[in-house]
Amino acid sequence: MYKRISAVLFPVVTILLVGSLMWGNQVKEDRNSIQIKAENQYQRAFHDLSFHMDRIHGEIGNTLAVNSASQGMHRKGLMNVWRLASEAQSEINQLPLTMLPFSKTEEFLSLIANFTYKAGVRDMTKEPLNENEVKTLKSLYANCGEITKDLENVRNTVLAKNLRWLDVDTTMAKNHQQAGNAIIDGLSSVNKKVETYPELDWGPSVTSMYETRSVKMLSGVPVTEKDITRKALKFADAGSNASCKVIENGKGTDWESYTATVQSPKGSPLTMDFTRKGGLLTSYRDDRQVGPKKVSIDDAMNKAEEFLAKKGYRNMKAVNADPYDNLVNFTFVRKQDDVLIYPEKMTVRSALDNGDVVGFQANEFVYEHKDNRDIPEPKLSLSEARKTLNTDFEEVYSRKALIKNDRSEDTLCYEIGGKINGAQYRLYINADTGLEESVEIIRDSAADVH
């Protein structure tokens, strides 16, 4: 009997054993294939990074080598540097550096990209490189030369010692001292050297891109929880039976704020966020349950305008409506005289069951608001600005608008809305130069309000 059982089981076990060995070998081959592909990708990304850093160094040198009046070559060189720096940033993100502090080098490349882009996109025949920008480029030329040599040394070491990039994260995880691996040591050295570079004059447009919006930028004095309670109850139009709970956020940081929750006996809770400095309202939310859609978007927009005016946000104009389900998001900007001030923007959410406002976000409005902006007179007429339009562009409306240009500067434009190629667009034509400062496509679900 046992002989018969063993005669049956033996070949079955043998087949299973052989099958498991074959499966294990296949898994090992697949894993090795994946590792080889990953290693090849890391090697390629690093070689490209080293190559592009060398190209950046060369292009900056070419830009500095030509005559100061060669605006065309300056612009070409700057745009090449911007493109190469952007590619270098992408290559850093492809390397296994999640545990290696390489952020200073990546930030340095980001600054180079933004600096050269901001300088290169402007009309250099009217605004050539100034003395400070040339000085910054000379410093960048020297710095990029050093980084290029250091990356080249790392690359040569990797090739000479046949090192693997796949070992970087493993080494970092095991060795918290971040030493003992030539790749790690080399890149850490590069990052530390970048960190020691003196601060350069990147210009106001680039510097503003890296400024964090904090309470330090606001005017006014710090407020107390008692002040916030009073402000929240007033904004909510709450009766004497309402309660207000205030929570302090980010104490001791640049983001100090308060969150207030107002609860009425019969109503839904209303949540509001205020800045600690000045006690300015940055967001509002009504947590009530929204019912089926019953009112139109136009009716909801009118109620939103009334709500903002009642709450002290006067001269606000809706410029966009984005409905979804039984809600609609409106974009409002402040209007001064006949000009729309786009930096002073807020998003208002309304419910389409009765048209009431159920929330808004006003961070941009809070940080950009000025009671009376200095708006210059346009040098070009609307008819002159229209001459720059594509002949196939079908204009629907036009109005004056103040926007932030690519250099984060307030720029007066003619906003011209219309259609071309089956889509809706907004074009912002500089009211002084006639150049197109910005182009926006209106998504299919959204409506351009004018």
pLDDT at 121: 78
Per the CB < 8 A criterion, the answer to whether 403 and 343 are in contact is yes
Looking at mean pLDDT, say which of 31-45, 92-106, 279-293 comes out highest. Answer: 279-293
- Which residues sit opposite 392 in a β-bridge? none
- pTM above the 0.85 mark? no
pLDDT at 179: 47
Q: What is the mean pLDDT of residues 340-349?
A: 95
Looking at mean pLDDT, say which of 4-8, 29-33, 70-74, 217-221 comes out highest. Answer: 70-74
Q: What is the distance between the alpha carbons of residues 101 and 155, in angstroms, rounded to a whole number?
A: 19
Q: Is the torsion defined by CA of 159, 165, 169, 174 positive or negative?
A: negative
H/E segment holding residue 344: strand 339-351
CB neighbours of 343 closer than 8 A, spacing ≥ 6?
A: 364, 368, 402, 403, 404, 410
Residue 430 phi, psi dihedral angles, 5° rounding: -55, 125
| Protein fold of 382-448 | Nuclear Transport Factor 2; Chain: A, (3.10.450)
For CATH 3.10.450, the residue range(s) in the chain are 382-448
Q: What is the mean pLDDT of residues 43-49?
A: 86
Rounded (5°) CA angle 208-278-304: 85
Q: What is the distance between the alpha carbons of residues 33 and 25, in angstroms, rounded to a whole number?
A: 12
For residue 333, the tally of other CB atoms under 10 A from its CB is: 23
Q: What is the mean pLDDT of residues 155-176?
A: 72
The mean predicted confidence, pLDDT, of the chain is: 84
**pLDDT band, residue 205 (cuts 50/70/90):** low
